[in-house]
């Protein structure tokens, strides 16, 4: 169909300038009803949109207590790729293959960690050398008790679960394909939730409208970090850390969890970013900490993380 030329305004009608046009657009946006969240609130599941180097897709995420969930089965995934922990090959939209080596990031960050580890080891040796037998026994008993408490807390902890199957994240390019899959009754890890049947019966494509806080742009992270400290998008990087941790837990990617764990260089980056967005002294100190974080180390680390996540995605049309 030929594209129609826009109609000229009548002579009696005043033309809108840029300011009036923007105001009119805002009015239309405000009048547009927001997506109905009633269903998602009832089933306690949310639609999520994730952008990766290979494209953008929709999936689902929920949070439940760890003891209520059966983790995704990664046996078949790891069997298909026995070198998963060492090497990732990611296909981009340009059909290029990017090899992601953990060693690159490890070599850069190892120097930062060695000094802290040596200090901790010396402190532990000093404490053990100066402790009596009774004190050592008491310390071991305390450690055992702490381990039991940690296990109980882990069972009660609320953890993420995604629309996954056999260790792979299912990403759908359209809301329609996502809804079709859900209605099909195909096996997936979210089907263990007690609200899954209700969702599959009531869900419509129009319901697949992720909130802003459930939309993530992992495809932009590496380039943003390469731009240098002054170009870093704090909100983008903080949100990337949140979704990467959730995906690493749900998809059982221990290497990614380690890279983002407390005390790691990327966790230091995350904490400094969060502090810097706050005002006052905390924000000032956070910005100072950011200046000390190496852009090359951060970008290489995130390249590895995005590569590992991309490698376990099952794209669905």
Digits of tens for pLDDT over the chain (317 positions)? Answer: 444 444 444 445 445 455 554 554 455 444 444 567 999 999 999 999 999 999 999 999 999 999 999 999 999 898 766 444 444 444 444 444 444 445 555 555 555 555 556 656 666 655 555 555 665 566 666 666 565 555 556 568 999 999 999 999 999 999 999 999 999 999 999 999 999 999 999 999 999 999 999 999 999 999 999 998 889 999 999 999 999 999 999 999 999 999 999 999 899 999 989 888 777 667 667 777 888 888 888 999 999 999 999 999 999 98
Q: Is residue 190 part of a domain?
A: yes
Residues 6+ apart with CB under 8 A from 98: 53, 89, 90, 92, 307
Q: Is residue 254 part of a domain?
A: yes
Look at residue 308 in the predicted model and tell me its pLDDT: 97
Look at residue 113 in the predicted model and tell me its pLDDT: 55
* Residue at token pair 């983790």: 71
pTM of the predicted structure, to 2 decimals: 0.70
CA distance 26 to 23: 5
Domain tally, the chain: 1
CA distance to 105, 198, 251, per residue, from 248 (Å): 17, 28, 5
CA distance 298 to 268: 10
Look at residue 90 in the predicted model and tell me its pLDDT: 44
Q: Is residue 80 part of a domain?
A: yes
Q: Is residue 15 part of a domain?
A: no
Look at residue 189 in the predicted model and tell me its pLDDT: 98
Q: Is residue 187 part of a domain?
A: yes
Q: Is residue 220 part of a domain?
A: yes
The phi-psi region of residue 185 (left if phi > 0; otherwise alpha if psi is between -120 and 50; otherwise beta) is left
CA distance 203 to 183: 8
- Say if residues 218 and 308 touch (Cβ distance below 8 Å): no
User: Which one-letter DSSP state was computed for residue 174?
Assistant: S
Look up the domain containing 167 and give its range: 38-107+158-316
Q: Is residue 277 part of a domain?
A: yes
Q: Is residue 125 part of a domain?
A: no
């Amino acid at each position: 169909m030929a594209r129609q030329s826009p109609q000229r305004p009548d002579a009696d009608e005043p033309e809108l300038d840029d300011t009036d046009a923007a105001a009119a657009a805002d009015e239309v946006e405000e009048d547009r009803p927001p997506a109905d969240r009633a269903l998602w609130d009832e089933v306690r599941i949310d639609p999520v949109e994730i952008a990766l180097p290979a494209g953008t897709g929709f999936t689902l995420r929920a949070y439940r207590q760890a003891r209520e969930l059966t983790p995704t089965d990664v046996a078949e995934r790891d069997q298909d790729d026995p070198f998963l922990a060492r090497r990732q090959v990611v296909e981009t939209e340009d059909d290029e293959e990017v090899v992601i080596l953990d060693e690159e990031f490890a070599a850069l960050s190892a120097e930062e960690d060695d000094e802290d580890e040596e200090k901790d080891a010396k402190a532990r040796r000093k404490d053990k050398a100066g402790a009596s037998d009774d004190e050592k026994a008491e310390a071991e008993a305390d450690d055992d008790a702490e381990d039991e408490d940690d296990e109980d807390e882990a069972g009660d902890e609320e953890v993420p679960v995604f629309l996954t199957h056999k260790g792979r994240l299912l990403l759908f390019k359209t809301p329609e394909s996502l809804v079709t899959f859900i209605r099909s009754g195909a096996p997936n890890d979210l089907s263990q939730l007690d609200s899954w049947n209700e969702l599959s019966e009531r869900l419509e494509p129009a319901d697949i409208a992720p909130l802003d806080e459930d939309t993530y742009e992992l495809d932009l992270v590496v380039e943003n970090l390469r731009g240098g400290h002054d170009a870093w998008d704090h909100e983008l990087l903080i949100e990337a850390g949140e979704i990467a941790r959730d995906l690493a837990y749900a998809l059982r990617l221990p290497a990614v969890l380690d890279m983002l764990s407390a005390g790691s260089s990327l966790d230091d980056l995350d904490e400094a970013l969060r502090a810097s967005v706050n005002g006052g002294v905390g924000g000032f100190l956070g910005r100072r900490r950011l200046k000390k974080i190496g852009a090359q180390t951060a970008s290489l680390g995130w390249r590895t993380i995005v590569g590992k996540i991309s490698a376990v995605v099952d794209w669905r049309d």
